[in-house]
Amino acid sequence: MANTDSTPSASNAQGSSHIYKYNASPNTRAAISQKVRVLSPVYRPNRENNSFLFQLGVVSSFTYDMSRSAEPIRGIGFGDQIAERVPGVMDAVDVSLERTLLYLSNAHQAFGFAGGVDGPVRTLQHHRWPFDMEQQLVFSSIADAEVGDRDGDDFNAGLVDVDFSGQKVTGAQDAYGSNQSHKAIITYFEACWMSSVTGANVTADSSIMSETIGASVSDIHDLFSTYGDFLPTGNDPSLGQVGTIRYNGIASNGAVQDGGQNRVVG
């Protein structure tokens, strides 16, 4: 009999047991956790091609922080004045997530390693290759309508359509036809190494056993874009995007930053 906690479903979940059952979520303008999908490779034995990412189930939290310092430049003889803040390199990013331990699917298996009932992997010492993760911030129908059709827009290639027809929702085909998709913003975590697995700790006060997983990320991007020095990321005065009065002198198109006094919206 197949392990249905590690056998992907038609809806792109890692498993097909009742643990991975879906339900509806509300349409709001605020982004909500019910519509966030986290994907990773799942270990599937005896597969010649096991190169797909599937939605993790029973994940109760998924967090990561991005930070970098901005070092101050000062000069003697100019008083207590900062001449400029110079950004440093971004700190390395680590992802932390908490997932319920299943008998037939543990943290190693859920990220592509032959652990638990699928093989001998028990510690981080046994991980020989990195893995990728993908976060999808799935839109509500309200956001779908306002963002519009972005097909063919290379600058927004990381805004994709996620097809939900695989859920086989009752009445959906009659009501919506083939239009059963939402937009989603992709954040892709490339070449991750699992850096910690905490648990599953057994306590007398709780029946549920969870594993806390830490992963060290090599790179973060939108999966599709090419990045470089001339990426038009915004606040560029040479393009008339003046985010600070400090660079009014090099702004194009007569644009200036006047501290909010100019109320004309164009």
What's the token pair of residue 109? Answer: 């298996």
DSSP assignment of 228-245 equals -TT---S--GGGT---SG
pLDDT at residue 252, rounded to an integer: 86
Tell me the pLDDT tens digit for each residue of 36-82: 999 999 999 988 888 999 999 999 999 999 999 999 999 999 999 99
Tell me the pLDDT tens digit for each residue of 22-41: 999 999 999 999 999 999 99
Strand partners, 230: none
**How far is it, in rounded angstroms, from Cα 169 to Cα 163?**
12
What is this structure's pTM?
0.93
In eight-state DSSP terms, residue 247 is G
**How far is it, in rounded angstroms, from Cα 117 to Cα 132?**
22
Residue 264 has pLDDT above 70, yes or no: no
Percent of the chain with pLDDT over 90: 83
Strand partners, 96: 63, 214
Residues in the chain: 266
The pLDDT mean for the chain works out to 93
What's the token pair of residue 42? Answer: 């799942």
Please report, to the nearest 10 degrees, the dihedral formed by the alpha carbons of residues 170, 31, 131, 219 taken in order: 150
**How far is it, in rounded angstroms, from Cα 119 to Cα 46?**
12
End-to-end CA distance of the chain: 63
pLDDT confidence tier of residue 151, bands split at 50, 70 and 90: confident
